[in-house]
Structure 1
Amino acid sequence: MSRYDLTDFEWRVIEPLLPNKSRGVPRVDDRRVLNGIFWVLRSGAPWRDLPERYGPRTTCYNRFVRWRKAGVWDRLMDAISAAHDGAIQMIDSTSIRAHQQAATVKKRGQIIVSVSRGGLTTKIHVVVDAQGLPIRLGLTAGQAHDGQIADRLLDHLGPRTIVLADKAYDADRIRELIQEQGATANIPAKSNRKWKPCFSKRLYRERNLIERFFSKLKHFRRVSTRYDKLADNFLAMVQLASMRLWLRACESELWRKMGDDGLRRAAYRGG
């Protein structure tokens, strides 16, 4: 078993969320295929280097693309992140170097790669919850302003949610979008803003959680460097990495609670 494979806990969470297939030829074992996809995600290796223990590489790749087109990864991301802590949400972006093969595509498709002094880049935009776990994701070209995608990522806020963001999101339309949903923006004002809104430096320090998330996300080598030509495929990889971080956090919390319960039982027994 590879250290990149799904644990029993992770598989118990994912299995009920996968598509059912009651007719026709039974498909190749879902867990083995998913382990192959996660191996590529974590190692960053090309699909053709997939170890034989995961079955044919074409099966893993075709399943990855077919389920992406069918919205399976979207539904899994929504289901797994549904338990997020919405009291505080943070939005930010990180730039990803794109491999030269990601900037060329034979078929028509959305690439979202820009050329700058840093080379070929793509931006990953993320909203995380109060625990630093991802809720919503998006992509833009590397030179795009962070505020361009904020309207789409911040349109599902709950009442009394506090939104933390840096000065790049200090725009009237973004503040109005947040306020219309009953939420509160805690965003530092730009130096040229005449009216200075309320701002808490103490709350703003919580933004280190989103920086930690980006650090963990880039442990997945298929995300830390973009090899996928199509933006949809790359975003699906980011979703899978995000789901894995959610599952690991949930499993760690479960083990912590089990440990606490064990200590309480031991204390009750006088052990």
Structure 2
Amino acid sequence: MDRFVLTDAQWAKMEPHCLGKPSDPGRSGTDNRLFIEAVLWIVRTGSPWRDLPALFGNWSTVFRRFSDWRKADVFKRIFDAMSEEPDMEYAMVDATIVKVHRHGQGAKGGLRARPSAAPRAA
């Protein structure tokens, strides 16, 4: 399984916002990029943490690190860094992809005022 999601350009934007460095002692992790790839694998597949492939390391360690990063708002900083220059190529909306349902086009029918079931007072 050597198919990863991140490109080198994306990783270059993310790397300054990650916790720890390979030279730091403790639970900083030796490879932040592999950790991010593991998180993206979980998100992409929708699998539980226990099904994380061994390529990414022990699932429990990866989950604990994910939880630490979540509490430290690292993922928010990464998201903000990645969304500085949004690619609007896929955000274009026009009439070729957005259609009104036939009930909303002014066709006959629709909601009408119905007479009350109670008899009218004369």
Q: 2:93 aligns with which of 206, 230, 253?
A: 206
The CA RMSD measured in Å over matched residues stands at 3.0
**Is the contact made by 1:18 and 1:72 (CA closer than 8 Å) also made in structure 2?**
yes
2:62 & 2:55 partners in 1: Cα distance? Answer: 12
2:75 & 2:5 partners in 1: Cα distance? Answer: 18
Deviations 1:95-126 (A, max 9, x none): xxxxxxxxxxxxxxxxxxxxxxxxxxxxxxxx
Unaligned stretches of 5+ residues in structure 2: 99-122
Other-structure match for 2:18: 18
1:63 & 1:133 partners in 2: Cα distance? Answer: 33
- What is the 5 A alignment of 1:35-114? 35-84=37-86
Q: CA deviation at 1:18?
A: 1.3
- What is the 5 A alignment of 1:103-182? 131=88
1:75 & 1:133 partners in 2: Cα distance? Answer: 23
1:2 & 1:44 partners in 2: Cα distance? Answer: 19
CA gap 1:53/1:84 in 2 versus in 1, 3 angstroms? closer
Structure with the greater alpha carbon radius of gyration: 2
CA gap 1:206/1:64 in 2 versus in 1, 3 angstroms? same
2:48 & 2:15 partners in 1: Cα distance? Answer: 26
Q: Paired residues, what number?
A: 94
2:30 & 2:20 partners in 1: Cα distance? Answer: 13
Other-structure match for 1:33: 35
Identity %: 37
TM-score, scaled relative to structure 2: 0.60
- What is the 5 A alignment of 1:249-268? none
SS of equivalent residue, structure 1 residue 64: helix
2:86 & 2:2 partners in 1: Cα distance? Answer: 29
2:94 & 2:20 partners in 1: Cα distance? Answer: 40
Relative to its length, the structure with more strand (as a share) is 1
Letter in 2 for 1:24: P
Letter in 2 for 1:33: F
SS of equivalent residue, structure 2 residue 84: helix
CA gap 1:73/1:132 in 2 versus in 1, 3 angstroms? farther
CA gap 1:19/1:78 in 2 versus in 1, 3 angstroms? same
CA gap 1:81/1:207 in 2 versus in 1, 3 angstroms? farther
2:84 & 2:16 partners in 1: Cα distance? Answer: 15
Letter in 2 for 1:206: V
**Is the contact made by 1:47 and 1:61 (CA closer than 8 Å) also made in structure 2?**
yes
CA gap 1:23/1:36 in 2 versus in 1, 3 angstroms? closer
